[in-house]
Amino acid sequence: MVRRSFFVIITLATCFLATCLWAKEVIRTIEVEGNHRVETPTIMSYIDIKPGQVANEGKVEEILKNLFSTGLFADVMIEQQGDRLLIKVVENKIINRIALEGNSRLKDEVIMGEIGIRPREVYTPARAQEAAQKIRDMYRLSGRYGAKIEPKIVEREENRVDLIFEITEGKTTRINKIIFVGNNKFSAGRLESVIMTKESRWYRFFSTDDTYDPHRLSFDKELLRRYYREQGYADFKVDSVVAELDPDDQEFYITYTLNEGPRYRFGDVKVTIELPKLSPGCITGCVALERGEWFNSKEVEKTVEKLVNSIGEQGFAFVEIDPQFKRNPETLTIDINFVVKEGRHVYINRIDILGNDRTDDDVIRREFRLVEGDAYNSEKLKRTEERLQNLDFFKKVDIKQEETSAPDKVDLKVEVEDKPTGSLQFAGGYSTVDGPLASVTMNERNLMGKGYDLYASAMVAKRAKDFHTGFTNPYFLGRPLLAGIDLFHSTRKYSTKTVGWTGYRQMKTGGTLSLGYDLMERLSQSWNYGLRKEHISDIRKNSSPFLLAQQGNWVVSSLGHGLFYDKRNNSVDPTKGYFAGLGNEFAGLGGRVRYLKNSIRAGVYVPFDEEQKWVLSTKVSAGAMSGLGKTTRVADRYELGADSLRGFADGGIGPRDMRTADALGGLLFYKATVELSVPIGLPNELGIKGSLFADVGSVWHSGNSSPFIKGDNPRPRLGAGAGITWRSPFGPIGVYYAPFVLGQKNVDRTQRFNVTFGSNF
């Protein structure tokens, strides 16, 4: 009992002593010291204690936490002196100015816009290091992993500092070697052509593909996965991508570790329709996959697109195609069941456009095949992205879908990045038709960000001069009408005998008004009116009387019309698809010249490999001309040769006056070209390609009656050979050699070697 009483007494005494030690007097006054810039009421607003309260340990810790979290103070101390609570602060320094030293690759305004720190803000070493890291990241994105950023301060009066970032940019960190491990089916060179990242080479001075970019490596993994799946390796995966930096040479070594897996073939392929009202007949021919063929994920995607389009044409706007795969490891086959079912009814809520700092929103929106409120359509969305890319105004075009609060609506977020659309080019070269030449071209394809096209060009050659200027508005009067005006003045010496022999000089001065529009997707119609004055001179006295008859001044007033259907994947350098067109031109709306021309043309491009390096193109054209009761001029007739029929000289085939050897041209012509574009082992970015070609054609029926005219028949002539084309920064250049020339008559003029400059090929 005594023991228990003693234990209770000791316990109570201990509690009493602890209470006395922690107990504080009630706070009567609160004072702040050390603040020069931050006002006392501001500091008091962060303190959750008032006179009449007790400053226990928890309350003091809370006050310290609140004051430090403001970022205004480097140090805070709290003391209780009787009933007085004293708060001593040491204020952080203020940034007076920020300076960058040593940067030349990145401009000051670019860096300052990203570092997230400004003058008159609070300085802390942590914020300075954070800003330095952001600058370091910017240099890494530009390929300079060796860049060093060191923040320093210079003390100023009134507790201010100048913050200076000393930058050592270092050299560009290139990729020395790309290594593939585990690639048993494809060579390293083959796989490197698939990915975007490239090894450093001297000719990549215009490209950044050989600089290290971790985001690009992630995309490369996806490109490799797509490629292998298109070749039948459905289980392929990239186990790892390792980038090692050589600290001495500042070069990266990239290692891709691959797991190829087995190659599969297509097994059973079927379609299951879960739409009650859908007739199976509407999908006939959509599925071209056959059992036993190598599995190809791209062909599966194409089949899904065909099914969506075909079913959509039957009025089913909301349909979902779910390709269900079943792997058979024993037989190395993949069964596919395309399940057709009703999809979620989704409509377009909003279309937001971002990144177009230069191009107007309207220029982008008018290319959309969908508008807000329309039912979602993946095919129209794909066509929209294709049209935006064809504008050639943007470095990138990315259309993303974003969910909204409404389950049946999605927002479309269009992210673009403007690119320079103006150019000023000076060039020099040689053409076997016009001789040595020099040219200057100015072009702005997106004037004022409204999509206007303004251009001017001048070309001076030994046998030609040409000056052009023009303006095109692709959305005239606020409608999808392409309206343009073109003014020109040109002079050319035409050869009617052989290269270097001038038959006559033709000078043209005039202009053309044009108007074009789409009749339907990919089908366009155009009209143009041209008025020009011509002067034909320098005809030798012993020239053909048919040439002498056209000497003098002429006024040509003509109306043109065209229809053009274009299903090519690229209008400048097509590798897949086809086109077809027809044209009409009537001259005689005033003036001295009268004729009617009708022509047709078509072409098909077929790639033989997935990279579309081997492309077979077939193009045909034909035309017929009538003088409408008048004798046509030689200058208006069709001619073939040089660029238009390789292996023959300019105007080298067709009717010819044998008394003077002058070419007279013809009222009828046809021409066909078969050309195989082949890689010649050079990198794609150089823009150099090889080709094997065969041109066949004829021009005949001069409209003149004379026993001295020879070669006036439709007998075909053929020229075949090889060539090299270069899409140079100064314009396209082509060099062709046609050693095989067949069907020529004695009156024809051959020219096996041909150089073109500035023409499309």
| Res 2: pLDDT | 42
Report pLDDT for 40: 80
The dihedrals phi and psi of 217, each to the nearest 5 degrees, come to -60, -40
Amino acid at 6: F
Quote the tokens at residue 312: 């959509």
Q: Give the contacts of 448 (CB within 8 A, at least 6 positions apart).
A: none
200-233 per-residue burial string, b: 16 or more CB within 10 A, e: under 16: beeebeeeebbbbbeebbeebbeebbebbbbbbb
**Quick one: pLDDT at residue 272?**
87
Residue 284 has a pLDDT of 76
- 533/216: higher pLDDT: 533
Q: Locate the DSSP E strands across 627-682.
A: 647-648, 656-657, 662-663, 668-678
d(CA 587, CA 685): 45
The CA distances from residue 193 to 211, 235, 251, 681, in Å, are: 16, 21, 20, 11
The answer to whether 87 touches 30, Cβ cutoff 8 Å, is yes
Task: Name residue 601's amino acid.
Answer: R
Which strands sit side by side in the sheet containing 93-101, from one edge to the other? 122-123, 93-101, 160-168, 148-156
Closest CA to 635 of 496, 459, 434: 496
Per-residue pLDDT reduced to its tens digit, 372-426:
888 877 777 877 887 888 787 887 888 888 888 887 888 888 888 887 788 777 7
DSSP 157: T
For residue 534, the model assigns a pLDDT of: 92
**Least trusted range by pLDDT, from 38-52, 128-142, 494-508, 550-564:** 494-508
CA distance 654 to 115: 71
pLDDT tens, position by position, 274-292: 887 777 777 777 888 889 9
The more confidently predicted of residues 85 and 146 is 85
Structure tokens at 72: 């205004």
Residues in the chain: 761
Average predicted confidence (pLDDT) for the chain? 83
Structure tokens at 171: 């050299």
Q: Which two tokens stand for residue 658?
A: 């044998």
Supply 345's token pair: 């009814």
pLDDT of 262 reads 94
Domains in the chain with CATH codes:
25-91 (3.10.20.310), 93-168 (3.10.20.310), 174-259 (3.10.20.310), 265-342 (3.10.20.310), 347-418 (3.10.20.310), 451-757 (2.40.160.50)
- What is the pLDDT at residue 432? 63
pTM of the full structure: 0.59
Radius of gyration of the chain (CA): 38
The answer to whether residue 496 scores a pLDDT higher than 60 is no
CA angle 164, 167, 172 (to 5 degrees): 160
* Beta-bridge mates of residue 582: 563, 600
Q: Sorting pLDDT into bands at 50, 70 and 90, what band is 430?
A: low
Q: Burial level of 159, CB count in 10 A (0-12/13-18/19+)?
A: middle
Q: 655: which DSSP letter?
A: -
Q: Report the share of the chain in percent with pLDDT over 90.
A: 28
Predicted confidence at residue 744, as pLDDT, reads 84
| pLDDT tens sequence across 433-489 | 677 878 888 888 888 888 899 999 898 888 889 999 999 998 898 888 999 999 999
DSSP string, 559-586: EEEEEEEE--S-SSS--SEEEEEEEEEE
Q: Select the more confidently predicted residue: 380 or 632.
A: 632
Task: Indicate the pLDDT class of residue 429, thresholds 50, 70 and 90.
Answer: low
pLDDT at residue 501 in the model: 42
The model's confidence at residue 554, banded by pLDDT at 50, 70 and 90, is very high
**Inter-axis angle of helices 378-391 and 297-312, nearest 10:** 110
pLDDT at 14 over 50: no
Q: Say if residue 668's pLDDT is above 90.
A: yes
Q: What is the mean pLDDT of residues 600-607?
A: 95
DSSP string, 228-293: HHHTT-TT-EEEEEEEEEETTTTEEEEEEEEE-----EEEEEEEEE--TT--GGGGTTT----TTS
Q: Is 702:709 a contact under the CB 8 Å cutoff?
A: yes
Tell me the backbone φ, ψ of residue 118, rounded to 5 degrees: -135, 160
Q: At what angle do helices 214-230 and 297-312 cross, to 10 degrees?
A: 80
Confidence of residue 51 (pLDDT cuts 50, 70, 90): confident
Higher pLDDT, 320 or 221: 221
- The predicted pLDDT at position 24 comes to 55
The pLDDT of residue 18 = 37
Q: What span, in angstroms and rounded, lies between the C-alpha atoms of 349 and 404?
A: 8
Q: What is the pLDDT of residues 93-105, one digit of tens each?
A: 888 899 999 888 8
List pLDDT tens digits, range 192-220.
888 888 887 766 655 667 777 777 888 88
Q: Picking from 263-272, 442-451, 483-492, 552-561, which range would have the lowest pLDDT averaged per residue? A: 442-451
Mean pLDDT of the 337-362 span: 85
